[in-house]
Amino acid sequence: MNKQEEIAALAILIHDLRKHKKYTLKELADKIGRSVGFLSQVERGLSQPTVADLTAISETLGVPTTYFYSLPKPKQLPWVTRPDERRTLYLGNGITDILVSPKIRASFSMLESLLEAGASSGERHMTDSSEQGGYVIEGQLTLWLGDDDEPATLNAGDSFQFDSHTRCRYANLTSQLTRVLWVYT
């Protein structure tokens, strides 16, 4: 799939899940702290949600964030993924997430996040029901955890791990690309 097809597929997944869970646009928008207009644009593929938006949507609708990566891609070996078999989400604020795990419903999932220069997960802290860890492959990642306003700056080769439901946000505050391998339980 190309970028536009991936954006359209995400829009359909969000719309269909919202309808299935019997939420109106207004109810979901209110729960995630966004406008009805913005959510409507996301569901029509005209706007891209941020990482924080997608996390809030998944938490509100009762699915793991990895649910949105669940469109199957053809695979030759069920325990291996090749670059052309991977599901990609193009998110707002300059972040692209690529599901690198062969299995979505395993005890953990792996994502490669590409953060363009100045990219961020959003201005709001988010929480996820998964324990998370990561490894900075390239560039620099700034990470805010809990209620601490003091960020941690991680460089290539640095790793991190935090408990489920920990409030966090992250950004690439540099002018270079940042690549991070995330692991979710």
| Mean pLDDT to the nearest integer, 156-182 | 96
Q: Does position 77 have pLDDT exceeding 80, yes or no?
A: no
Q: Does position 71 have pLDDT exceeding 70, yes or no?
A: no
Domains of the chain: 3-69 (1.10.260.40), 83-184 (2.60.120.10)
In whole angstroms, what is the distance from residue 50 CA to residue 155 CA? 23
| Mean pLDDT to the nearest integer, 32-59 | 94
DSSP state of 35: -
How many other C-beta atoms lie within 10 A of the C-beta of residue 142? 17
Residues whose CB is less than 8 angstroms from the CB of residue 139 and which lie 6 or more positions away in sequence, other chains included: 115, 155, 156, 172, 174, 176, 177, 178, 179
Q: Does position 72 have pLDDT exceeding 70, yes or no?
A: no
Share of the chain above pLDDT 90, in %: 62
Give pLDDT, residue 75: 64
Whole-structure pTM value: 0.76
DSSP states along 44-88? TTSS---HHHHHHHHHHHTS-GGGGG-S----SSTT---GGG--E
Query: In the predicted model, what is the mean pLDDT of the chain?
Result: 90
Give pLDDT, residue 81: 82
| Mean pLDDT to the nearest integer, 35-53 | 94
